[in-house]
Amino acid sequence: MGYYNQRPNQRKRRSWAIPLIVVFLVGIFLVAEVIPSFNANGTGDDSKTVRNNTADSIHGDKAQIINTSVNVDVSTQITEVVDEVTPAVVGVSNIQQQTNYWHQEEGYEAGTGSGVIYKIEDGTAFVVTNHHVIAGADTVEVVLYNEQAVPAELVGSDIFTDLAVLTMDASQVENAISIGSSDNVKVGEPAIAIGSPLGHMFSSTVTQGVISGTNRTIPQDFDQDGRADWQAEVIQTDAAINPGNSGGALINIYGQLIGINSMKINQESVEGIGFSIPIDYALPVIAELEATGEMSRPYLGLEIYSLEEVPKIEWTNTLQLPSEVTGGVYVWSVEPLSPADQVGFKKLDVITELDGVPVMNMIDLRKILYQEKKIGEEVGITYYRDGKRYETSLKLGAQ
């Protein structure tokens, strides 16, 4: 009986198993064929969810492709920019005379740097470089990107801005660089340095980095006496700047000149900290050097030093300064017939203000004179002598 009872059950299982298999196969077909068409047509109850997930996946793939395309485009743009700018960046040789064994004068290369052709006019090419590149030179030579050497003339230079202007024959010059602006550069944007590091052997070397900082101030000691004479205002970049790059070009991704490479921090533990003179700061200096051959600045006629260099005990014992004086500059000598001499300044006078602006050290005083005042203008001066406070004014002369 049991056996008999099993036969009908098997028949029943067979009767519904076959349709189940058919439904299963149809389901697979629907999943494989119908649902993708739903996604494409945007139909079906769950089509929105499926479509969004698929779109995200496709979008991700497209984004990756687009990013690759952008990277290729940027790389291509940089190479095109470098090709265009490189002929405008030159090497600069500082040639000085020396006497040889036979007591004859001969020239030797005392130093090398870089320069940038910024203008071509009436058959003459104008080159900007650093003052320290050509300092002490008897003659100057420019080496073009194709290694052709061309004699150059020094028009003028300025130690405070570390800028110099040269001229040379433009018959072999291809083009001048496009001038940009340094006022709107942003930290993190690409920066490209072009120059001749380590001499002309590596001329037209290109390094790439970013703008690491703007409005940096770097103390400079011109006479190497251990005291800062000036503070340069510079752009910081991590694009490699090596000896010989001085005077070369710092450009943006559009090939525009935004700075004149000038210096780097040269310490064993420091990497990727280089500095460039902002082009907007350099342009007025370049124009004046080109026009007059020198920079004329307001002039007091005083030899001064920062009060911070004097031991505090001397502030009271020798200078007799009151306790409210916390900084200033003291007079060491007065040039005869100078503006300061004409109003009676004396040795050991201590200047604390110019036009009501506090002067804490020599750099503060120079910045006010050189950046805010003009030759022939009046300037008000607050100073102390023998412990007493005085005020006077004078007309600034020309340095």
Query: So which residues are the catalytic ones?
Result: 132, 162, 246
Q: What is the CA radius of gyration of the chain?
A: 36
d(CA 356, CA 58): 67
Name the residue among 259, 249, 274, 286 with its Cα closest to residue 84: 249
Cβ(197)–Cβ(211) under 8 Å? no
Ramachandran region of residue 15, left (φ > 0), alpha (ψ -120 to 50) or beta? alpha
Tokens of 307: 């009060």
CA distance 145 to 117: 11
The three-state secondary structure class of 191 is strand
Residues 6+ apart with CB under 8 A from 361: 306, 307, 308, 327, 328, 329
Phi, then psi, of 240 in degrees rounded to 5: -60, 125
Secondary structure letter of residue 107 according to DSSP: E
User: What residue ranges in 252-321 does DSSP mark as E strands?
Assistant: 256-264, 274-278, 298-299, 302-306
Residues 365 and 302: beta-carbon distance below 8 Å: no
Q: How far apart are CA 233 and CA 161, in angstroms?
A: 9
The answer to whether the beta carbons of residues 340 and 395 sit under 8 Å apart is: no
Q: What is the pairing mode between strands 105-121 and 298-299?
A: unpaired
